Amino acid sequence: MSVLIENVRIIDPVDDYDEVGALCVQGAEILARGQIPDGFEPRRRIDGSGLWLFPGLIDLSARMREPGEEHKATIASETLAAARGGITSTVIPPDTDPPIDSPAEIELIARRARQACGVRVYTLGALTQRLEGQQLAEMAALQQAGARGVSNAHKPLASLLVLRRALEYATTFGLTIVLPAQDLSLTGSGCMHEGAVSTRLGLSGIPEAAETAALGAILALVEQTGARVHVARLSTRRGAEMIAKARAEGLPITADVAAHQLFLTEVDVAEYDPNGHVIPPLRAQRDRDGLRAAVARGDISAICSDHQPHEADAKLGPFAGTEPGISALETLLPLTLRLVEDGLLSLGEALARVTSGPAEILGFKQGRLGAGARADFVLYDPTALQEVRQQDWLSAGRNSPFFGWTFSGQVRETWVAGRPAWTQPTKGNTE
């Protein structure tokens, strides 16, 4: 189908493009940006006056609970929630049940995704067989089946020697290795940041060193092997500083942060709200500020949702006994754009952290709007107000600490491969 979207403000962070004009879509690709080519006769015209158009978001970490935990959520439910949030591509970590350690699991997820709303669903393959941390997985087969990188998620590795061998092996296939910086022996049974608040609440804490000690080992092995590593979900100021120093020294390393880490702190756990139970934990104010500064500098080049939907029972009971994680697909974009309102980032910089930034990390072609790019984009109404309400939520997981928050702006339509995957069901549509 050919589509012309006219009079719309187009924002493409790849080349700092920000102009009011037209976007021409031909089939699954963008035909032209800005000007309408001679002879282009669209089958559909959309008046985008007053709207913004920018690339669809790419979320580097979204658990959809399928296969294995369909009582929490499914690919169908979560991709629809993603589309509503302006996300057009998601990446599933390998800790499904069974884990993604063979082509069969990748093919199953791809098949389920094709039956859903159209949002692209990618997978990370397991770094080790069954994520047990002992024997390396068949990375070549995983890559051939479509894995965009490899990871052991939050499962421990038997030793740093296993990690070294994994980095060397993955590098031979040009795979990016995605590693959370978390020393599980230091994490122990902790459920929140170790500090004055955890002491007052009587909850077991997770020290900053659980991240920085693990990160130090990762950086040493990156320097040794030259492997391309992406550090997932940083939570500390010190960790962000270590990444910045490593990048300045030329190491092939990138990092992301979950959006909620840029707004919440350990104080948000003070009422024992189980929706504040996340791993890595919400840290101190200085950590939040340090992460924000790293995002502003570009040392952290991607913001992800770290989406983890749960059924209601998972968040009942004493704080320490609840399951960690936030349902976050539908708040990734509003939180990222709140950073613009806070004066931390320009609009183009904020969008880059959720589009071109993650695209570059895993080598995606999308995340841009130039001619020939995939027609994955968002039509956004900057004048709308939206209150995050549980009754409006599309994710099967209702575990969000942001219910009751109000944000400026709202996704009007989300397009994937030249077709609408989501349209806001309100009057005054764009057509």
Residue type, 216: G
Identify which of 308, 355, 312 has the alpha carbon closest to the alpha carbon of residue 328: 308
412, 52 in Cβ contact below 8 A?
no
C-alpha 278/C-alpha 135 separation (Å) is 29
Angstrom distance (rounded) from CA 272 to CA 12? 41
Residues 335, 259: Cα–Cα separation, whole Å = 7
Rounded CA gap, 299 and 291, in Å?
9
CA pair distance 409, 71, nearest whole angstrom: 32
Confirm whether 38 is a catalytic residue.
Answer: no
* C-alpha distances out from residue 272 to 9, 155, 397, Å: 43, 26, 19
Reduce the DSSP state of residue 318 to 3 states and report it. Answer: coil
155-164 contacts at long range (C-beta below 8 A, 24 or more positions apart): 155/95, 155/128, 155/131, 156/184, 157/127, 157/128, 157/133, 158/133, 158/134, 160/217, 160/221, 162/128, 162/133, 162/134, 162/136, 163/217, 163/218, 163/221, 164/221, 164/224, 164/225
CA 385 – CA 394 distance, rounded (Å): 18
Helices and strands of the chain, counted as H and E runs: 12, 19
- Indicate the burial class of 255 (C-beta count within 10 angstroms; 0-12, 13-18, 19 or more): buried
Residue 360 CB neighbours (<10 A): 16
Catalytic one of 59, 101, 287, 306 = 306
d(CA 418, CA 382): 22
User: Which residues are known catalytic residues?
Assistant: 306
